[in-house]
Amino acid sequence: MLSRLKRQYQALPVIVITGHGSVSGAVDAMRAGAFDYLTKPFDNDDVVAAVKRAIALQQPAQPATDSLREAVTGLMGRGPAIQALITQMEVVLNTDYSVLISGETGTGKEVVAQALHRHGSRTARPFVVFDCGAIVESLMESEFFGHERGSYTGASERRRGRFELAADGGTIFLDEICNLCAVGQQALLRVLEERVIYRVGGSTPIRLDTRVIAATNGALAGDEGTVTFRPDLFYRLSEYTIAVPPLRSRPEDIDFLARRFLDQTQKALGGAVRDISEDALDLLRSCPWPGNARQLRNVVRRAGLTASSTVTAEDIQACLPRRPVQVAVNKQIFSTVDAPLRDLVQHRVQQVERESILNALALDGGNKAAAARRLGIDYKTFRVKLKTFEQPAAVARDLTSV
């Protein structure tokens, strides 16, 4: 199948996933033209990272047919907050400054980064995306810089890293830079200072003509109370900073975004849903949207899937996330001497965990992986706890039984 695919579609990246992995199988797949080779059982994040790498290689170099302002307003809205955002972008558009984009999850930081690339002087070169929270520390340098064949166990072929893919005039977008581990921070600082990289296990210098754009949804070095991010790297990355406003600060754009997302849904469903009612728009404008435009898009798409010809307020209400249930615990419970202290502490911990997990999930628009990263816990652990805590009645019963 792989051989036939590569004969018919030579430029198509193919990722092989197998339950019968072996070194010889990997070698054969790579020789036949596989982009990557993964074995079962696999981690979902590894698959996502592999697909993102493949997409980065296939990123089309599209000429800027519209102006930056037209492109951004066509995606994000035409309100004054977005106009001010575009003005910030225009200042740095045709420079080589490193740009740090800050904003909450779902505000459109990658939209801003792509617009800076596609409407700037580097538009004909690759735009390479790197999710700083998706790669384990031991593979960070290999992902950044690539590796030579035989440089470590399993390195059966030479591989180009993300920076090399963008080395010749491209742009590298470091998404969620706040999740970058200490090893990655040190390596990135060296790159920004020297503008030269070496593949892991290699000795040939590769000079970089690469623009660096980073994005964060949290505080970095230089912000009060933060000690996990290197201050020297922060100052290198933030030659110019852009703050993307949250959706709750620009309700004037909600109508436009809702109709745009509904139009996308209509095309996907073959024109089943044609309009959205005014009362539905009123309801959307009244929501706080902790997940910002991404959360709004998910709600509109779900409503469009279940609505008839017009999305109503009832359709929207059914798709809005329920507010996290706050389990009220009688203060008397924790002052009684009848229950063992160990049980009281255990139930208090469960209550705090539950509130933290559900609130993180709401802030990240229902994205479990992002919520797990926000809390600094393993994705599998997050899912197990969420499954338990999604049963508020049972939790309340446990607490009140102490």
DSSP per residue over 159-189, as a string?
A: EE-HHHHTTEEEEEEEETGGG--HHHHHHHH
- In tens, the pLDDT along 309-320 reads 889 999 999 998
Q: Are 57 and 12 in contact (CB under 8 A)?
A: no
Identify the three-state secondary structure at position 222: coil
Residue 74 has pLDDT above 60, yes or no: yes
**DSSP at 138:** G
- Compute CA distances 31 → 36, 37, 41, 393, whole Å: 11, 11, 23, 56
pLDDT at 343: 59
Closest by Cα among 288, 286, 287, 296 to 265: 296
pLDDT digits (tens, 9 = 90+) for 1-26: 887 877 777 778 888 898 887 767 76
Q: What is the C-alpha to C-alpha distance for residues 18 and 34, in angstroms, rounded to an integer?
A: 12
Q: Tokens for 144?
A: 């950044």
Average pLDDT over residues 339-344: 58
* CA count, 13 A, side-chain hemisphere, 163: 26
Give the per-residue pLDDT at 65: 40
Q: Cα 327–350–385 angle (5° rounding)?
A: 105
Ordered domains of the chain (ranges, CATH): 2-42 (no CATH), 68-245 (3.40.50.300), 248-319 (1.10.8.60), 331-400 (1.10.10)
Give the whole-angstrom CA distance, residue 402 versus residue 398. Answer: 7
With a cut of 80, say whether residue 211 has pLDDT above it: yes
Residue 171 pLDDT exceeds 60:
yes
pTM of the model: 0.64
**Predicted confidence band at 345 (pLDDT cuts at 50, 70, 90)?**
low
Lowest mean pLDDT among 288-297, 358-367, 390-399: 390-399
Give the pLDDT score at 357. Answer: 83
Instruction: Tell me: pLDDT of 173 over 50.
Output: yes
pLDDT, residue 13, reads: 87
342/347 Cα distance (integer angstroms) = 9
